[in-house]
Every structure is written in C-alpha cells, then in structure tokens.
Amino acid sequence: MDDILEILVQDARKSPAEIAEMTGKSEKDVAKAIADYEKKGTILKYRAVLNPEHIAETDGAVRAWIEVSITPQRGAGFDSIAERIYKFSEVKNCYLLSGGFDLLLLVEGHSLQEVAGFVSQKLSTLENVTATSTHFMLKVYKENGDIFQSTEKSERLAISL
C-alpha cells in the first residue's frame, strides 16, 4: 500500500501538508495523489473511529455477529442471496466465508429483541437461508486495528485462595 494511503488509514484528518512532511513529498503531489485515489474509487469515504463503549452508553445499540448457512442459487452462486441480505438496513457488514458457515454478518439494532426479530422474521425466512448462529457482542477490545481500552478500573474484588 502506498505510504499516503497508510497514513490516511491511520488518521484521515491529516492534511496534505502534514502527509507531505511525513513522506518527504511535496504538498502538491500529495494533494494530487489523494484526488486521484478519490477519483479512481480507491478511497471511497472518510470515517471517524468511534469508541463503541461510549456509543452504546448513549444510544443503547446492540451488535451481533451472525453466521449464516445458505444454499447457493443456480447461475448466481452466493452473490444474489448475499445481496438480498446485505441490503437490510440492520446489516452493517457482510462477508463470504469458507468453513462451516457461508456468510458472516455484523448486525446492529436498538435492543436484543430488535436483533432477534431481524433474525427470526427477516433473515431466517429467506428461502435460501438454511441455518443461522447469533453471537451478541459484549465488548470490543480491538477493531480495524484500533485498540479500545477502558480507563475505568474494575470494581470486582480480587479472589484469593
């Protein structure tokens, strides 16, 4: 990966001037490279990285990983059913896997019941879905290379024998 892209992946708020200083390139060349990456679709968008523990405290969001077994469709394979699934607003990420399940979904809802309802009423009822396994996310330690460490000390008492 290009050094400009690596810097932007780590911190998309870096200015072309800052990136130029870090890479030894001119600010003009950095700005042109970024514009080219955006035009070609290499850079799709810029996002803020949010601490999920802080967000959950304010909006009560519930996230779950859902493994899905599907029967591929003749002539379309997995792509057609995957497209139907990833178009649901609850589905934030959708991956094709090897192994025991075919798809892995990251699903978000406002409550456990909302996520469970999505699985039972929308996902499981699709003709090509043969099985699901839902894993509710309890805590995020690291995501997309970013480490989320709580600064709060645990109030649990140490166990001594």
11-40: per-residue pLDDT in tens?
899 999 999 999 999 999 999 999 999 999
Structure tokens at 148: 């989320």
Residue 63 forms beta bridges with which residues?
108
124 CB burial (10 A radius; 0-12, 13-18, 19+): middle
Going by pLDDT thresholds of 50, 70 and 90, the confidence category of residue 48 is confident
CA gap 35, 29 in Å, rounded: 10
Cβ atoms of 148 and 55 closer than 8 Å: no
Q: What is the pLDDT of residue 55?
A: 67
What are the start-end ranges of the E strands in 101-144?
103-109, 129-136, 142-143
Domain boundaries, the chain: 3-40, 60-139
Going by pLDDT thresholds of 50, 70 and 90, the confidence category of residue 80 is very high
What is the CATH T-level fold of the domain 60-139, as seen in this structure?
Alpha-Beta Plaits (3.30.70)
Cβ atoms of 64 and 107 closer than 8 Å: yes
Q: Give the tens place of pLDDT for each residue, 118-155.
A: 999 999 999 999 999 999 998 888 887 778 775 555 56
CA gap 111, 127 in Å, rounded: 26
Cβ atoms of 100 and 133 closer than 8 Å: no
DSSP code, position 121: I
